[in-house]
Structure 1
Amino acid sequence: MIKTTHAGPHLRILAVCWEGGGNVPPTLAAVRALAGRGHDVRLIADDTMSAEAIEAGARFLPWKRAPNRPDRSSESCFLRDWENADPLTCFQRACERIFVGPAQSYAEDILDALATEPADILLGSDLLFGSMLAGEVAKIPTALLASNISLWPLPGHPPFGPGFQPARSAADRARDAEACAMAEQGWDVFLPRLNAARAHFGLAPLAHVPEQRLSAGRHLLATSSRFDFPAERLPDPVRYVGPLLEMPGWARERWTIPPARGMRPLVLVSFSTTNQGQADVLQRVIAGVAGEPVEMVVTLGKALEGLRLQAPANVTILPNAAHDDILIQARAVVTHGGHGTIMRALHYGVPLVVLPMGRDQNDNAARVDYHGAGLRLDPSAPPRMVGEAVRRVLSEPGFAERATALGRAIAAEGPGPARLVAEIEDFVLKSSQSALSIT
């Protein structure tokens, strides 16, 4: 057991992250909030995050044994979504290369950091099973941060992945049960690897991979309960803390619409900060919306900034733009459905057209559709259908009204960073009290 101490209100926190694109800003927002509260925060993560972590107030530690990306280029990406459009293959690759396969390496790096300096809490990742494993080995209070909706189905929710709406019939419930069983089988392909890592640390084997998450005492969801589907109840460890919106460190380009072109509706097009093979989708979106009487701004992100796209006169392509400046003026957003992009759009009351391409995007799109805050299209939709969808969200006031109402409801829950800090502090306090009662 690695000894941990809690000295007064100032906590020593070891946070972890991996370079997965959309999960990075929420982690940095958490680091910034905790450090701003006066806590001592170390972040162990890929080298890509070093400068941003330090700027946010953390002391940075790089992964040594575990996978570590030196930059955000497509060449250094471990997941390489664009090489295979099949969601199952993408999931298996992510499990093999990041989530479960290197669990022992991630755990060893985390345990080294804890041995060098004790901590009061480990803030792990809901996708890094090595962080869960390290917390169990070290016997340290462990909270898992989910950068968006829950990876694990909540009571009354459909399973993560396919983008289902909540079940309304016996057939829907059978569908959900079948999908859950298939998901568990998918995870359990990697059970021998996880149990081998557990055996290395002297822990008993698990029957299923998802059981590893039960070793953590808190699961913090960096999304809004108002955005999510209604839950019958929340399992005791699960807490909504609200969106953790942090502008990526590379998004520094500022843009305002030229006055001569400001009379037409502005449409923001944003398809991820990582390469998911979205060049073809982006080109079809441009072709579909370019024929509409709008101004369009397309932001690319770090991994796509060299992408060459054909753009007519009413389209501006920006490599590394800050979305807030654009969303203040935008009337619609066309996106792949990343959680951060959707939360920012709703914050400004901007309706969406979502073409999900994988990861959490199907499920985010399902929630936008559920709340009537936009439209969902298949990513293979032809330009004509994209143009029609954009025309609808611009011309039918209900979409903007519902997006504005949902954005206000999310804001009314309170700021995510402050809620996360409160949950962390409460969790450590209760863990300390529990430990004292046992002794």
Structure 2
Amino acid sequence: MKYLLAVWDGGGATPPNLGIARLLVGRGHEVVVLGDPTLAEAIAATGASHRTWPTAPQRRSTALEDDLFKDWECRTQFGALNRVRERLMVGPAARYAADVVATLDEASAGAESAPFDAVLADGMLLGALIGAEARGIPTAVLVGSVYLVPSRVRPPIGLGLAPAHDALGRARDRAAYALMTRMSDVGTGPVDAARSELGLGPLRHLWEQWDHADRVLVLTGSAFDDPPPDAPNVRHVGPVLEDIPVEGALELPPGDAPLVVVGLSSSYMRQADLLTRISRALASLPVRAVITTGPAVDPAAIPGARNVAVVRSAAHGELIPRAALVVTHAGHGTLIKALAAGVPVLAIPLGRDQPENAARVARHGAGRVISVRSDAAAIATAVFDLLVEPSYREAAAALGTRIRAEIDSGTLLTELEGLAAAPHRPT
């Protein structure tokens, strides 16, 4: 089978999408990835072919000035989310749609290459989904997080609310769905314009574009992301635990004290000061620690210690299973690797979808959540409590067992290969 994978350089959201490319290539399928130039090396490592977006916006380098959103400039979470809508989801929808259509049409007309059997698109790229719909190609939305779209049967996002257990809670969720749907529909004209250019009718609301896909594949554990949404095309298929490629071996701090792994965002979120406070907290404790700063922060800017190693990157898939605790911003990538390994978490959310993820950690009893403004002493206290109280590790281990079972079930591959075998729709 031949797949077109449409992705963007979304920091921690990107590795699961590329992990799907690796999985399909390993099964003998052909995968072509439309993605930013900054992803060239990571895409090549999967065995897939890489094409940059012909016209759509994309990152040309990892420099901060090339960031599409610069959401650290926004004063509120709403402002940051609005930038994502304007600069990725809605504003350039027609350009993403045109690029996908051109790629599909070129393959269908070419004498030397086979047409595509399916399109897999990151859920933020609504334009890519429009292009696939216009050409009648079987399509899957890839969601590398919990399901964040408004739903009548789930609590509103961003408030950390527990699932409804009575009539009042269910009424709350229905009312929140109506309100959040209206809010998300503001300024969505460019999406309907992109659909109109390709002969498609308007949407009733913005997220209906996901409803038009054959599948919405949620790349997380269903046990973690409860309750399930009510959209009939949604499938929880387990996380894809793909690491960002790293070079060289990591030398751990000496000794046999408990290992604490720290990973904050791989994109810039003004996290240097928090990393410094975490480092000082861990230096005061009888632990060994590895802090990964990611490409956005220079490791030299973060003070280390004899028991605290500060590096730009490390293979979390190898490091986290050896840890007694993971300290994270609660980005889905790092968080789900910890939970899948049965490792408890100290969550310090910075923004984006992180408060929602952190609330789930606390609800499952697999860790604690503290404020981003916590000082080194408060961080040290939280780390110590998590290490000495066994209930956190027990809850993380139980949740990890369920997550790994979902990964091992092969549901993801079944869905992907079933999608490509489905007939194309009339255009």
How far off is 1:181 after superposition?
3.9
Which residue does 2:235 correspond to in 1?
239
| Contact kept? 1:190, 1:209, Cα under 8 Å | no
Describe the superposition over 1:384-407 as per-residue Cα deviations: whole angstroms up to 9, x where unpaired: 322221111100011111111211
Other-structure match for 2:377: 384
Q: Does 1:109 align with 2:105?
A: no
Partner of 1:254: 249
For residue 258 of structure 2, the aligned residue among 259, 265, 269 is: 265
SS at structure 2 position matched to 1:298: strand
Is 2:6 aligned against 1:50?
A: no
- Residue 6 (structure 1) aligns with: none
Deviation of 1:311 after TM superposition, in Å, equals 3.4
Bigger drift between 60-69 and 49-58 goes to: 49-58
1:250-329 aligned at under 5 Å gives the runs 251-258=246-253, 261-305=254-298, 308-329=301-322
The match for 1:96 among 62, 66, 86 is 86
Contact 2:238–2:407 at 8 Å: present in 1 too?
yes
Q: What is the CA–CA distance in structure 2 between the aligned matches of 1:154 and 1:185, rounded to whole Å?
A: 13
Worse-matched range after superposition: 266-275 or 199-208: 199-208
Residue by residue over 1:306-330, the C-alpha shift from the partner in whole angstroms, topping out at 9 and shown as x without a partner, is 5612334432111122223432332
- In 1, Cα distance between equivalents of 2:378 and 2:161: 22
Percent identity at matched positions?
38
Distance of 2:154 and 2:391 partners within structure 1: 26
Query: Partners of 1:112 and 1:234 in 2: how far apart?
Result: 34
Q: Any idea what the Cα deviations from partners look like across 1:238-286, whole Å, max 9, x if unmatched?
A: 111111111102x23432434xx32322211110111111122222222
Instruction: Give the deviation of 1:85 after TM superposition.
Output: 4.4
Q: TM-score, normalised to structure 1's length?
A: 0.89
Q: Which residue of 1 aligns with 2:135?
A: 138
Is residue 2:202 matched to residue 1:212? Answer: no
Sort the Cα spacing of 1:253 and 1:274 in 2 relative to 1 into closer, same or farther, 3 A.
Answer: farther
The superposition leaves residues 23-63 of structure 1 with CA deviations (integer Å, 9 ceiling, x where unpaired) of: 21111110111111111211111111122222212111111
Taking the TM superposition and a 5 Å limit, the aligned residue runs for 1:34-433 are: 34-117=24-107, 118-153=115-150, 156-168=153-165, 172-173=169-170, 175-177=172-174, 179-231=176-228, 234-249=230-245, 251-258=246-253, 261-305=254-298, 308-415=301-408, 418-429=410-421, 431-432=422-423
The one-character-per-residue Cα deviations of 1:164-215 (angstroms, maximum 9, x if unpaired) are 3223456655554454344323322221221222222232222321122221
Give the whole-Å Cα distance in 2 for the aligned partners of 1:254 and 1:171.
54
SS of aligned partner of 2:157: coil
How much has 1:216 moved relative to structure 2? 0.6
Supply the distance in 2 between the matched residues of 1:55 and 1:264 (Cα, whole angstroms).
35
Q: Which string of whole-angstrom CA distances, capped at 9 and with x for unpartnered residues, describes residues 126-173 of structure 1?
A: 111101211221121111111121122456322333333223456655
Number of residue pairs matched by the alignment:
419
The 2-side partners of 1:391 and 1:193 are apart by: 51
Q: Secondary structure at the match of 2:193?
A: helix
Indicate if the aligned counterparts of 2:58 and 2:68 stay in contact, CA closer than 8 A: no
Q: SS state of the match for residue 414, structure 1? A: helix
Say whether the 8 Å CA contact 1:224–1:241 is kept in structure 2: yes
- Whole-angstrom CA distance in 2 between matches of 1:34 and 1:161: 34
Q: In the aligned structure 2, how far is the partner of 1:245 from the partner of 1:36?
A: 15
Contact 1:279 1:307 in 2 (8 A): no
For residue 257 of structure 1, what is the amino acid of its counterpart?
A: L
Deviation of 1:298 (Å): 0.9
**One-letter code aligned to 1:424:** L
How far apart, CA to CA, are the structure 1 residues paired with 2:300 and 2:95? 35
- Which amino acid in structure 1 is aligned with residue 40 of structure 2? S
Take 2:176 and 2:230, find their aligned partners in 1: how far apart are those partners? 21
Offset at residue 350 of structure 1 (A):
1.3
**Structure 1 SS opposite 2:33:** strand
- Name the CA distance, whole Å, in 1 between partners of 2:13 and 2:130: 20
RMSD between aligned residues: 2.2
Give the unaligned 5+ runs of structure 2: 108-114
Q: Deviations over 1:277-307 (max 9, x none)?
A: 1122222222333322222221011222356
Asked whether the 8 Å contact 2:237–2:412 carries over to 1, the reply is yes
Q: Quote the Cα distance in structure 2 between the aligned partners of 1:349 and 1:106.
A: 39
* 8 Å CA contact retained: 1:18, 1:45: yes
For residues 206 and 153 of structure 1, the distance between their equivalents in structure 2, rounded to whole angstroms, comes to 15
- SS of 1:190's equivalent? coil
**SS state of the match for residue 207, structure 2?**
helix
